Structure 1
Amino acid sequence: MGNGAKAQQKRERNAKDAKKGPTSQLANNKAAMNLKCKICMQLFMNTSRAPQLQEHATNKHSKDIKDCFPDFQG
């Protein structure tokens, strides 16, 4: 058996074990966008922290975090 045959067998073995389907993270990121500013309706990921949301509220709307994100649990 030559090196070419060994390499082909290894490729076939690895192809059988390889993940099938898309590996993009975009769908998961889109589903995680569940914090919404009540004033401008901008979406934020559920992993956003209070300082980032407070910065949005003060810079965009000159309001407090509770005015823009009343359902946020900090």
Structure 2
Amino acid sequence: MGGGNGAKSQQARERNAAKAGKGPSSQLKSNAAAMSIQCNICKQAFQSTAKKPMLDQHVDSKHSKQGFAACFPNYTA
């Protein structure tokens, strides 16, 4: 015979218990590890996926006198 509501509820409880055993699913640690671009002047970190326009915005707002090369000398496009 078919599974009633009781069987479905039991399966849902088992699924949720299995998910709870896996631990937190936060990406905070992986995001922190991806912060590989750093401004040489103020030491602010950026993710490795940061594009040049985002870094240009940082230079314009924080270090307009020093320029892009002074902030990010190792940056390659």
Moved over 6 A (4+): none
Which TM-score applies when normalising by structure 1?
A: 0.79
Identity percentage of aligned residues: 40
Aligned length: 73
Matched, 1:65 2:68: yes
Taking the aligned partners of 1:58 and 1:12, their CA distance within structure 2 comes to 53
2:60 maps to amino acid: T
Which TM-score applies when normalising by structure 2?
A: 0.76
Q: Which runs of 5+ in 1 are unaligned?
A: none
Per-residue CA distance 1:36-67 (angstroms, 9 max, x = gap): 10000111111110011111112211132211
2:74 maps to amino acid: D
How do residues 1-74 of structure 1 correspond to structure 2 at under 5 angstroms? 2-4=4-6, 6-11=7-12, 13-15=14-16, 18=19, 20-62=22-64, 63-74=66-77
Taking the aligned partners of 1:66 and 1:59, their CA distance within structure 2 comes to 15
Taking the aligned partners of 1:59 and 1:27, their CA distance within structure 2 comes to 28
Q: CA deviation at 1:15?
A: 4.2
Residues 57 and 8 from structure 1, CA distance in 2 versus in 1: closer, same or farther, beyond 3 angstroms?
Answer: same
CA RMSD, 1 decimal: 2.2
2:15 maps to amino acid: N
